[in-house]
């Protein structure tokens, strides 16, 4: 089958530049030979804007690392596609970038080369003092990108990621148009992260934490929930959104220090159910939702007192705490506070 396809490919100018493993991968999801498919190798949004009619599939062979405004590109691609149309692209991720450098240079040279690349193409675009003053040559260079950032931008722009694969040390992805085009603002990097959480009476509150996830991670909540199981404690297994330093900060609660501001502001109390997102809140049954509705979340959740291992045990732990709290507020909080501190200091209970 593929032999005839590749023979046909050689006669088609846009297709002849696609390597065979890449073409094999694309064919699993769409027909690159039909008239409603457009294939480009471009980092310029203008070339996509010149497509005059709606298309069913769009393939861009240029690495996303070379494109300066990814959100605008994803928005433009979305606009040109029919609903349920496919967008295929490729990107070199952090790990692939490091592997490429270490394969190209001997070990004594590879580390300083990687370090310079890390500073110029990963740190500088994110730091407030350097992201706006980088010279043009560096601004259009082969910048470093994470899986979280690419997938998050796609989901924010109205796509669902159907599949991805590592081919020739690049990550190729297939995204399906789920919704009409959305132009997302460029991410504002910074040490603090603002999270929208459900507070008392269903009020949406802004909770502050030190950033432990890669940019655009908030748009992937549903994707992670659909593709990754929950582990003990109600967290996601192998959550790729968390950075290496983020795991360390979470382990020792350093990332939660800014939540003291929420406590002083009055959004949180000392002991109480943890502030959670709407996606996580939707996992709870109606009884717990009603109980939570009447109470503030807290800095120290009943989780550290009961140490539940599954989502069902977390639900029962929070129910038990809230029912006891409604009967005797002060006694319940004191009992749970001392239980939590005992588990934290003597049983080494940790966040993750």
Backbone dihedral region of 280: left (phi > 0), alpha (psi from -120 to 50 degrees) or beta? alpha
Does residue 60 have a pLDDT over 90?
yes
Task: Name the β-bridge partners of 230.
Answer: 236
> What is the reported pLDDT for 192?
84
C-alpha torsion sign, points 324, 326, 327, 331: positive
> What is the reported pLDDT for 14?
62
Is-contact 50 76, C-beta < 8 A? no
For the chain, give every domain's residue range: 2-93+145-177, 95-136, 192-346
Q: Name the band, by pLDDT with cuts 50, 70 and 90, for residue 293.
A: very high
pLDDT tens figures, 131-173: 665 544 444 457 889 999 999 999 999 999 999 999 999 999 9
> What is the reported pLDDT for 136?
46
Helices (H), the chain: 2-10, 20-27, 45-49, 70-80, 94-104, 107-118, 136-139, 147-156, 221-227, 244-251, 259-265, 278-281, 286-293, 303-306, 311-327, 329-346
Does residue 59 have a pLDDT over 50?
yes
- Find tokens 């005059």 and name the residue: 52
The residue that leads in pLDDT, 283 or 293, is 293
Least confident of 50-59, 99-108, 228-237, 244-253: 228-237
Average pLDDT over residues 66-73: 91
- Report phi then psi at 175, rounded to 5: -115, 140
> What is the reported pLDDT for 4?
46
pLDDT tens figures, 245-288: 888 888 888 888 999 999 999 999 999 999 998 888 988 999 99
Does residue 3 have a pLDDT over 70?
no
Q: CA–CA separation, 118 vs 140, rounded Å?
A: 15
Q: Name the band, by pLDDT with cuts 50, 70 and 90, for residue 1.
A: very low
210-243 per-residue burial string, b: 16 or more CB within 10 A, e: under 16: bbbbbbbbbbbbebbeeeeeeeebbebeebbbbb
Burial label for 185, CB within 10 Å (0-12, 13-18, 19+), is: exposed
The arrangement of secondary structure in 2-93+145-177, i.e. its CATH architecture, is 3-Layer(aba) Sandwich (3.40)
- Cα–Cα distances (Å) from 163 to 36, 174, 175, 277, 326, in that order, read 21, 5, 7, 26, 48
200-209 per-residue burial string, b: 16 or more CB within 10 A, e: under 16: beeeebebbb
Instruction: State pTM to two decimals.
Output: 0.78
pLDDT tens figures, 197-236: 999 999 999 999 998 888 898 888 888 877 776 555 556 6
Helices (H), 60-181: 70-80, 94-104, 107-118, 136-139, 147-156
| Mean pLDDT of the residues in the chain | 86
Q: Name the band, by pLDDT with cuts 50, 70 and 90, for residue 90.
A: very high
């Amino acid at each position: 089958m593929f032999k005839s396809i590749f023979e046909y490919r050689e006669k088609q100018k846009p297709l002849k530049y696609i390597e065979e493993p890449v073409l094999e991968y694309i064919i699993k999801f769409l027909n690159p030979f039909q008239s409603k498919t457009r294939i480009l190798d471009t980092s310029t949004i203008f070339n996509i804007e010149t497509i005059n009619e709606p298309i069913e599939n769009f393939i861009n062979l240029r690495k996303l690392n070379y494109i300066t405004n990814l959100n605008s590109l994803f928005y433009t691609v979305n606009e040109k596609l029919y609903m349920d149309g496919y967008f295929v692209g490729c990107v070199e991720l952090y790990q692939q970038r490091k592997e490429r450098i270490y394969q190209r240079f001997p070990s004594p040279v590879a580390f300083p080369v990687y370090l310079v690349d890390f500073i110029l193409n990963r740190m500088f675009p994110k730091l407030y003092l350097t992201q706006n003053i980088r010279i043009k040559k560096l601004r259009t260079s082969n910048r470093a990108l994470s899986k979280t950032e690419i997938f998050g931008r796609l989901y924010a722009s109205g796509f669902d990621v159907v599949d991805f694969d590592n081919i020739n040390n690049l990550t190729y992805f297939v995204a399906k148009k789920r919704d009409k085009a959305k132009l997302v603002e460029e991410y504002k990097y910074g040490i603090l992260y603002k999270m929208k959480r459900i507070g008392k009476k269903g009020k949406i509150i802004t909770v502050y934490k030190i950033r432990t996830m890669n940019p655009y991670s908030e748009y992937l909540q549903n994707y992670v929930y659909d593709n990754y199981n929950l582990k003990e404690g109600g967290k996601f297994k192998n959550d790729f959104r968390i950075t290496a330093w983020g795991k360390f900060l979470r382990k020792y609660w350093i990332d939660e220090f800014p939540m003291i501001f929420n406590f002083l502001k009055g959004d949180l109390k000392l002991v109480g159910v943890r502030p959670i997102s709407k996606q996580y809140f939707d996992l709870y049954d109606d009884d717990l939702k009603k109980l939570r509705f009447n109470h503030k979340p807290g800095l120290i959740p009943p989780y550290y007192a009961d140490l539940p291992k599954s989502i069902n045990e977390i639900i029962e732990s929070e129910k038990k705490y809230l029912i006891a709290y409604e009967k005797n507020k002060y006694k319940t909080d004191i009992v749970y506070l001392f239980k939590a501190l005992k588990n934290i200091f003597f049983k080494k209970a940790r966040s993750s």
